C-alpha cells in the first residue's frame, strides 16, 4: 500500500496470482460456512460451532483470522438475535427461533478472507425472513456495483437502497473494507450514502462488502465486553458478507462456494 501525499493510502491492487491466493483463503471461509450451516440447530451451542470452525480452518493449514485480533477471543463471531456483530461464542444452546449471524475470517499463506451469513434457528418468523432476504439482497446489490469505473459510494448506495425498499434499518456504525494482506485495509465502505462519491473502483481491488441491517432501530450499543454490538431497541439484526474481487470481467465473490475448487468438507 502506497501512501498518497495527503496521507490517505491507495486501495491496494492485486495481481491475478494474488487474487487467486486471496480466493484460496476465501474458499476456506466458504467451507466453514457450509460446515456450520449443517450444524446450526436448536440445542447446539455457538461454542461448539466455534470449535468446529477452528478445526476446519486448521485442517486446511490456515489460521483463524479473528482469534486474538485486538484481543477477540474466538475463531468466529456468533451474534444472536439483537446482537448485530462481534458476539462471542458461548456454551448456552441455541433456541428455536433464534437468529444467528456468523462471521468467519481466515488467513492462509499471508492472505485474508472474510465472510458472514445469517440463519434462523429452526422456524423462521415472517419479519425475520424479510430481514434476512433484504440483507442478502443488499449484499448482491452491493456486489453488482463493484465494477471498474464505478465509485466506492455506488456500493454504499446500492446496499442502502435495498434496506429502504424493504423497510429495514441500516446499522451505520459498521461497513465493508479493503482486505488482502490485512483483515481490514482501506477503504472503509459505508452501507449508506449518495452514489458517485469516493475513490474510483479499479480492476484488482479486493473488498469485503457487508450489509448489517436491523428490523427496528438502527442504533446499537456495545456491551461491557467491548465487542458484542446489539440493537438498542432489542430488535433482530442480520449480517451477510462476501469478499469480492473487482475485475474487468465484473465482480467475483471469492467467498462464494466453488464445489470443485477444494475439498467439500
The residue length of the chain stands at 265
What CA–CA distances, in Å, run from 2 to 12, 69, 186, 236? 8, 24, 11, 40
CB of 197 to Mg ion, least distance (A): 21
Residue closest to 235 by CA, chosen among 224, 225, 221, 248: 221
Give whichever of 154 and 185 is closer to Mg ion, judged by the CB atom: 185
- List, in order, residues 6 or more apart from 221 with CB less than 8 Å away: 229, 230, 232
Q: Using CB under 5 A, which of 54, 83, 114, 160 touches Mg ion?
A: 114
Strands 229-231 and 220-222: antiparallel
Minimal distance, residue 65 CB to Mg ion, in Å: 10
Stretch of 52-60, 92-100, 106-114, 220-228 lying at the interface with Mg ion (CB under 5 A)? 106-114
**Nearer CB in complex with Mg ion: 26/120:** 26
Residue in this structure with the C-alpha cell 434499518, named with its chain if needed: 169
User: Measured from the CB atom, is 44 or 115 closer to Mg ion?
Assistant: 115
Nearest-angstrom CA–CA distance, 235 and 139: 20
Q: Using the rule CB under 5 A, is 208 a contact of Mg ion?
A: yes
Stretch that binds Mg ion, among 72-80, 155-163, 202-210, 247-255 (CB under 5 A): 202-210
Please tell me the count of residues contacting Mg ion according to CB under 5 A: 2
The residues of the shown chain that bind Mg ion, judged by CB under 5 A, are 114, 208
Amino acid at each position: 500500500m502506497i501512501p498518497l501525499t495527503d496521507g490517505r493510502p491507495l486501495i491496494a491492487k492485486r495481481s491475478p496470482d494474488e487474487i487467486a491466493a486471496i480466493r484460496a483463503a476465501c474458499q476456506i471461509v466458504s467451507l466453514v460456512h457450509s460446515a456450520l450451516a449443517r450444524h446450526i440447530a436448536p440445542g447446539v451451542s455457538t461454542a461448539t460451532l466455534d470449535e468446529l470452525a477452528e478445526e476446519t480452518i486448521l485442517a486446511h493449514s490456515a489460521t483463524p483470522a479473528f482469534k486474538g485480533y485486538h484481543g477477540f477471543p474466538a475463531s468466529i463471531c456468533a451474534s444472536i438475535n439483537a446482537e448485530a456483530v462481534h458476539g462471542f461464542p458461548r456454551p448456552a444452546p441455541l433456541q428455536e427461533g433464534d437468529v444467528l449471524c456468523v462471521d468467519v475470517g481466515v488467513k492462509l499463506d499471508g492472505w485474508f478472507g472474510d465472510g458472514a451469513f445469517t440463519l434462523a434457528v429452526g422456524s423462521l418468523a415472517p419479519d425475520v425472513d424479510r430481514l434476512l432476504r433484504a440483507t442478502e439482497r443488499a449484499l448482491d446489490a452491493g456486489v453488482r456495483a463493484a465494477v471498474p469505473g464505478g465509485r466506492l459510494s455506488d456500493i454504499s448506495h446500492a446496499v442502502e437502497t435495498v434496506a429502504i425498499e424493504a423497510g429495514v434499518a441500516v446499522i451505520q456504525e459498521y461497513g465493508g473494507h479493503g482486505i488482502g494482506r490485512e483483515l481490514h485495509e482501506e477503504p472503509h465502505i459505508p452501507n449508506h450514502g449518495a452514489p458517485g462519491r469516493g475513490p474510483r473502483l479499479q480492476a484488482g481491488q479486493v473488498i469485503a462488502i457487508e450489509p448489517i441491517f436491523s428490523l427496528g432501530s438502527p442504533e446499537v450499543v456495545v456491551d461491557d465486553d467491548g465487542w458484542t454490538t446489539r440493537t438498542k431497541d432489542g430488535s433482530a439484526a442480520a449480517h451477510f458478507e462476501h469478499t469480492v474481487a473487482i475485475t474487468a470481467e465484473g465482480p467475483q465473490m471469492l467467498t462464494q462456494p466453488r464445489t470443485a475448487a477444494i475439498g467439500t468438507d
